Amino acid sequence: MAREGPQPCRVVVFALNNGKSNLDGKVMLSASMRHATKPELCLHFHLALSFFELYVVFKVDVPRWRPKRDEGCRLHRDFYSLHVLPGCNCRTGDFNTMSNHCSWMYANIRNPLVNAPKKVHLNRGRSLRDGIASGVSEQQVGRAGNYGGYTALNRSYLTDLPWDMIRHTAGFPTRSGYFFLLRALVQPPQPLVKKVFATLLDSYYEWLEAPDFNKDDLDVATKQFVEVVKHLAVVLCQDLAVLYGKMKHFHVFFHAPFNDDTYGFLTFRH
């Protein structure tokens, strides 16, 4: 996003078409920016951690970059149907429900709400009340959570995102121009960044260099997905460096490139 602050602000946008508050299945957009001071609450960090767990820890098959052709149409079926949060049973390593995956992440970052009943609703209620107290309009709060008053007409005509609420949930003032991350001042070494999601990106570059590669197969969505993966690699390096003291027994630090200083993580952390 432009003019959000002295640092470049990358926003991850989500298209939501399923949920108990969206029974008609319409596509709704939501977005998130990196959290100002608490990486353990940052959605970008959890998304990066999920990718790392899937493709490095559990070695899930990488998506098929080469599109499948169906009656002359190019369709990236494997890529478009990628399950980012399929869920994982932390004891057996089996993938099952998203709730188990989220519970696993809560437990590993020692979230103070992990033992609270109905912690999802508790967190949502607090966030909404804090948003209103910080000056976010009730309309933006309703749009951010798809709550009462956000009617079908609003969904059809109010297509922009509730930026005041997005900034607030990331720990920034509701006005633009304040985006600044102290932990992002130092960029991680490139060998470290490239190694984080090497499983994903190496297969992508191999596809680009294949003799039968067709440049028409490289669509905008694929390029943007690769950019997101690169962004998440930087996020994971910076946030894990900050959270090392709290998460040093977390299993992510038993896997390369975070298990030693071969790629410069320990040096970067200090």
pLDDT digits (tens, 9 = 90+) for 243-266: 888 887 777 888 889 988 888 888
Structure tokens given for 14: 């989500």
Contact criterion met (CB below 8 Å) for 90 and 97: no
pLDDT score, position 121: 46
pLDDT score, position 250: 79
Contact criterion met (CB below 8 Å) for 257 and 192: yes
Spatial CA neighbour of 136 closest among 185, 175, 109: 175
pLDDT digits (tens, 9 = 90+) for 76-89: 556 666 666 555 44
pLDDT score, position 126: 56
- Return the number of other C-beta atoms located less than 10 Å from residue 106's C-beta: 17
What are the average pLDDT values for consecutive 10-residue runs of the chain, which has 270 residues? 86 75 69 89 88 82 75 60 55 49 53 43 56 64 58 56 83 89 92 92 91 84 89 94 84 87 85
Helix axes 43-52, 220-247, angle to 10 degrees: 100
pLDDT score, position 85: 57
Q: Round the average pLDDT of the chain to a whole number and report it.
A: 75
Spatial neighbors of 102 by CB under 8 A, at least 6 apart, are: 85, 87
User: What SS3 string covers 36-100?
Assistant: CCCHHHCHHHHHHHHHHHHHHHCCCCCCCCCCEEECCEEECHHHHCCCCCCCCCCCCCCCCCHHH
